[in-house]
Amino acid sequence: MHRQRAIIRTLGLATAVAFAATACGPQHSGSAPAAPSAPVASPSASASRQDDKPGTASPSPSESSSPSASASASPSQSEAPAVKPVMANGDENDQVRELQARLRQLKLMSSAPTGFYGSKTTAAVKSFQSQHGLGATGAVDEATWQKIQGLSRKPTEEELRPPTTNEVAAPDPRCMQGRVMCISKESRTLAWMIDGKVVSSMDVRFGSENTPTREGLFQVEWKAKDWTSTIYHTPMPYSMFFSQGQAVHYSADFAARGYAGASHGCVNVRDKAKLSALFDQVKVGDKVVVYW
């Protein structure tokens, strides 16, 4: 308590608000996020998610009362579920990770699997589809998935989660000037850049769907070499806070379990030695860019 009061007097009210909400801690699969840090979905967002599920839309009175409504449906409408993409841009799951590992086997991707279907995966799928006379949509339909499976083998665990550092993504334009931690959600990398040049890079992971890591342009507000979450009571070594309690910090859970877990919104780093060196270089006021 004495330590917290001292920090509040030193950093002022604005930073004290951020200090009170240092919520980051590891999330395990199936664990419910704590209420203080979980964003609340709007009613309209919930409704749109439900509308996307087959069979949940309520028919209008004219649809339910007219016997000819279903009979007049065109063949293309009735067959729509059959051509629905198996995977597409924006998806994030283990099946996407397998897809990426298979595309690496086929020399169509060079970066390590992340489980997120972004621009790199879309480009690789388009290339595969063009090579094999399939519609080059960039989304994986059933025909594309069967073809990829037929031309590749089931990935090993090491192929799915390789120990090597992820390939750094193309920098966001906001990263090209000054001192900046350039953090890509798609490649799951943090690149420490000075005047457009990458000085060092490291693997990172982010918050879950319910407790996402914020995207945008920020700056390092304050640093703490030895810190513990005030909400989850978990260690956060080498913390560099950039957005209302969210920080870049070392995670022993990430080091042990990899991408099987997630944070409560912070940017987790699993290489302690690399982060320690970065911590010594980063100054309060340096830029932080989080982007897809």
Each residue of 89-112: b (16+ CB within 10 Å) or e? eebeeeebbbbbbbbbeeebbebb
Question: What is the reported pLDDT for 181?
Answer: 98
Q: Using pLDDT thresholds of 50, 70 and 90, give the confidence band for residue 23.
A: low
Rounded to the nearest 10 degrees, how much is the dihedral formed by the CA atoms of 88, 89, 93, 98? Answer: 70
Query: Who has greater pLDDT, 64 or 156?
Result: 156
DSSP label at 212? P
Domains of the chain: 84-160 (1.10.101.10), 165-291 (2.40.440.10)
What is the residue whose two structure tokens read 């590891």?
Answer: 26
**Model pLDDT for residues 229-265, shown as the tens digit of each residue:** 988 899 999 999 999 899 999 999 888 788 888 999 9
Question: What is the reported pLDDT for 38?
Answer: 37
Of 180, 221, 206, 212, the residue nearest 261 (C-alpha)? 206
Question: What is the reported pLDDT for 164?
Answer: 61
Q: What does the block give as tokens for 92?
A: 């994030």
Give percent of the chain above pLDDT 90.
53
pTM of the model: 0.55
Q: Are 103 and 114 in contact (CB under 8 A)?
A: no
**Model pLDDT for residues 51-93, shown as the tens digit of each residue:** 222 333 333 333 333 333 333 444 444 444 445 789 999 898 9
